[in-house]
Amino acid sequence: MASIRRLKKDIDYVTDMVIQDCFLYMEFHDEETQKTAWEIIIELDNSRCDLIRRANHPDGKNNRKLIKKHYRDIIHDFLESVNESYTKLNQLVKSVD
């Protein structure tokens, strides 16, 4: 596993990319669909805060297996959250066209 610092930077970088895509979408569409994009942004930001909090406070500090499982779960939840956000944004774009 890479460092915790690197994990947190990756979480910030990827969520920022999704948020930028949402803002780009909002730039070209009406207010009705902008509300849905804002909901995606808020949900993703809450997820980011939760993931970073979990990365800072691992369970079972003395057991290596528990630590590895903890960070694997964080990475899995992170990828799932980003994928879900992009899926919602994709559906939003398709519904407008």
Whether the pLDDT of residue 59 is over 90: the answer is: no
Whether the pLDDT of residue 97 is over 90: the answer is: no
Instruction: Match 């994928």 to its residue by tokens.
Output: 83
Distance between CA atoms of 56 and 70, rounded to whole angstroms?
A: 11
* Region of residue 57 (left: phi > 0; alpha: psi -120 to 50; beta: else): beta
Whether the pLDDT of residue 1 is over 60: the answer is: no
Predicted confidence at residue 31, as pLDDT, reads: 83
Distance between CA atoms of 90 and 2, rounded to whole angstroms?
A: 31
The model's pLDDT over 22-52, given as tens digits with 9 standing for 90+, comes to 999 999 988 888 899 999 999 999 999 999 9
Q: How much of the chain exceeds pLDDT 90, in percent? A: 72
Entry pTM: 0.87
Predicted confidence at residue 70, as pLDDT, reads: 93
CB 25 within 8 A of CB 92: yes
Other Cβ atoms closer than 10 A to 51:
20
CB 7 within 8 A of CB 71: yes
Other Cβ atoms closer than 10 A to 54:
16
